């Protein structure tokens, strides 16, 4: 009998119900489940007997990997989440179920004794559908999990969708960095936002609002690279012993992210591979993005390095200005104000030498910025430079 059950998921409630049943069986010792969305790589091997879930991921390199998670790791994550959020709750699944954050909504729901309410995502995420799905939760404690793009869309839509979001006891937001301005906007609107940090290799979010969940360990190596340990760790990568050995050792997972401790909380600075070396100076794109997105008139930013014969790489950024006209060029006064803010907070080396307005930040996967696409936008001739 196969130890791996492959389930296609397409965002429909029917496919999600099949996944819920399969995950429930896997938690009780049945075959491991591999949820596959469109374009996800199929597995070429079967996991061991301890596996309950296999998650397809391309990570930051684009190389297909399959993360193997045990029932114990999934349970530890779900129980630690419940403890942090104040107890069991009814959950709305508004994320793609092939990603670990979506599957963890399923696991938390199963451990709470009630299957999740499912938002139909076949036509994409729509705030009005979120409001309608929320009404199906009924009374009592309720929680959901979103990516920043979804949160922004609900805030922009207002009305019934925002009213629905305000009714949640906790709204986990992860999958990509949550800009401080968006977080404050949500909290000012009465939304109980909880920022999360984690990945498939840690059974999803394992650090909430900068503090590790119970049973999770966080450390920084000499170079500032974040290491995570504890009961939520994956067993490794399916049929990839060399990759597993490189990432998992002595009860720790070595992430690709840089971090620092700030007032007792973990602050994620961005991926080590994303660091821009310009004129011999190291610039963390995430730090520049935080400054840009915090400025009046800007709703989002993505920073990349582009090749330059003099500087090695130039700091460049695409930004989303406020307003309803996506064709509007970036105002020169706004561009100078953005550069001045970065210069004042991070120094001259971090100032974007090229700024370009875009109607939306290009995204990949569950809502992470697509830096490759952003670089392509910045390196082609365009009339919206600042």
3-state secondary structure the chain: CCCEEEEECCCCHHHHHHHHHHHHHHHCCCCEEEEECCCCCCCCCCCCCCEEEEEEECCCCCCCEEEEEEHHHHHHHHHHHHHHHCCCCEEEECCCCCCHHHHHHHHHHHHHCCCCEECCCCCCCCHHHHHHHHHHHCCCCEEEEECHHHHHHHHHHCHHHHHHHHCCCEEEECCCCCCHHHHHHHHHCCCCEEEEEEEHHHCEEEEECCEECCCEEEEECCCCEEEEEECCCCCEECCCHHHHHHHEECCEEEEEEEEEEECCEEEEEEEHHHCEEECCEEECHHHHHHHHHCCCCEEEEEEEEEEECCCEEEEEEEEEECCCCCCCCCCHHHHHHHHHHHHHHHCHHHCCCEEEECCCCCEECCCEECHHHHHHHHHCCCCCEC
CATH class for the region spanning 275-379: alpha beta
Distance separating alpha carbons of residues 166 and 189, to the nearest angstrom: 8
State the pLDDT confidence band at 216, using cuts at 50, 70 and 90: very high
Distance of CA 65 to the CA centre of its chain: 17
For all residues of the chain together, what is the average pLDDT? 91
pLDDT confidence of residue 61? 46
pLDDT tens-digit map of 32-43:
999 998 878 888
pLDDT tens-digit map of 295-352:
998 988 999 999 888 788 899 999 999 876 655 778 899 999 999 999 999 989 899 9
Place of tokens 């499912």: 118
pLDDT confidence of residue 40? 82
Distance separating alpha carbons of residues 108 and 83, to the nearest angstrom: 11
CATH 3.40.50.12780 fits 4-268, yes or no: yes
**Mean predicted confidence (pLDDT) in 230-238:** 97
Domain ranges of the chain: 4-268, 275-379
To 5 degrees, how large is the angle CA 297–CA 300–CA 301?
110
As given in the structure block, the two tokens for residue 2 are 């196969």
**Mean predicted confidence (pLDDT) in 226-236:** 97
As given in the structure block, the two tokens for residue 30 are 């049945």
pLDDT confidence of residue 245? 96
Distance separating alpha carbons of residues 270 and 346, to the nearest angstrom: 15
pLDDT confidence of residue 382? 57
As given in the structure block, the two tokens for residue 250 are 């002595």
Strand partners, 305: 315
pLDDT confidence of residue 60? 46
Packed helices 159-166 and 127-134: angle between N→C axes, nearest 10 degrees: 50
Minimum mean pLDDT among 20-34, 148-162, 269-283: which range? Answer: 269-283
Query: Is 280:295 a contact under the CB 8 Å cutoff?
Result: no
- 138's CB contacts (< 8 A; 6+ apart) are 90
Q: What is the pTM of this model?
A: 0.81
**Mean predicted confidence (pLDDT) in 15-28:** 96
What's the residue count for the chain? 386
The four Cα atoms 173, 177, 181, 182 give a dihedral, to 10 degrees, of -30
Query: Is 351:278 a contact under the CB 8 Å cutoff?
Result: no
Place of tokens 């996506």: 326
pLDDT confidence of residue 160? 97
Q: What is the pairing mode between strands 90-93 and 142-146?
A: parallel
As given in the structure block, the two tokens for residue 45 are 């091997």
Minimum mean pLDDT among 110-119, 191-200, 324-333: which range? Answer: 324-333
State the pLDDT confidence band at 150, using cuts at 50, 70 and 90: very high
For residue 159, pLDDT beyond 50: yes
CB atoms within 10 A of CB 58: 14
Averaging pLDDT over each range in 198-202, 221-225, 367-371, which range is the top one? 198-202
pLDDT confidence of residue 218? 98
State the pLDDT confidence band at 385, using cuts at 50, 70 and 90: low
* Percent above pLDDT 70 for the chain: 95
Distance separating alpha carbons of residues 113 and 116, to the nearest angstrom: 10
């Amino acid at each position: 009998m196969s130890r791996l059950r492959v389930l296609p998921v397409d965002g429909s409630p029917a496919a999600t119900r099949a996944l819920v049943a399969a995950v429930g069986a896997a938690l009780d010792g049945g075959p491991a489940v591999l949820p596959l969305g469109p374009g996800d790589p199929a597995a070429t091997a079967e996991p061991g007997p301890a596996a309950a879930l296999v998650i397809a991921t391309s990570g930051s390199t684009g190389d297909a990997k399959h993360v193997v998670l045990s029932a114990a790791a999934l349970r530890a994550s779900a129980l630690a989440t419940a403890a942090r959020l104040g107890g069991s709750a009814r959950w709305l699944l508004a994320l793609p179920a092939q990603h670990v954050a979506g599957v963890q909504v399923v696991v938390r729901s199963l451990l709470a004794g009630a299957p999740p309410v499912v938002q139909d995502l076949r036509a994409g995420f729509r705030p009005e559908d979120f409001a309608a799905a929320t009404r199906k939760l009924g009374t009592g404690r309720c929680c959901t999990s979103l990516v920043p793009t979804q949160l922004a869309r609900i805030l922009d839509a207002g009305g019934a969708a925002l009213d629905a979001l305000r009714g949640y006891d906790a709204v986990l937001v992860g999958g990509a960095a949550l800009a401080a301005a968006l977080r404050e906007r949500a909290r000012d609107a009465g939304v109980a936002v909880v920022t999360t940090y984690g990945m498939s290799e840690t059974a999803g979010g394992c650090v909430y609002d900068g503090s590790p969940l119970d049973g999770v360990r966080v450390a920084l190596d000499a170079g500032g690279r974040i290491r995570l340990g504890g009961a939520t760790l994956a067993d490794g990568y399916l049929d990839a012993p060399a990759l597993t050995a490189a990432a998992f050792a002595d009860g720790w997972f070595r992430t690709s992210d840089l971090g620092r401790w700030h007032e007792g909380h973990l602050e994620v600075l961005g991926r080590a591979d994303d660091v821009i070396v310009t004129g011999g100076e190291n610039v963390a794109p995430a730090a520049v993005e935080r400054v840009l997105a915090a400025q009046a008139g800007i709703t989002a930013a993505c920073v990349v390095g582009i090749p330059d014969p003099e500087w090695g790489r130039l700091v460049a950024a695409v930004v989303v200005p406020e307003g309803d006209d996506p064709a509007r060029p970036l105002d020169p006064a706004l561009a100078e104000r953005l550069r001045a803010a970065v210069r004042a907070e991070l120094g001259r080396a971090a100032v974007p030498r090229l700024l370009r307005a875009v109607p939306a930040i290009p995204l990949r996967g569950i809502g992470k910025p697509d830096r490759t696409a952003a670089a392509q936008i910045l390196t082609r001739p365009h009339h919206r430079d600042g």
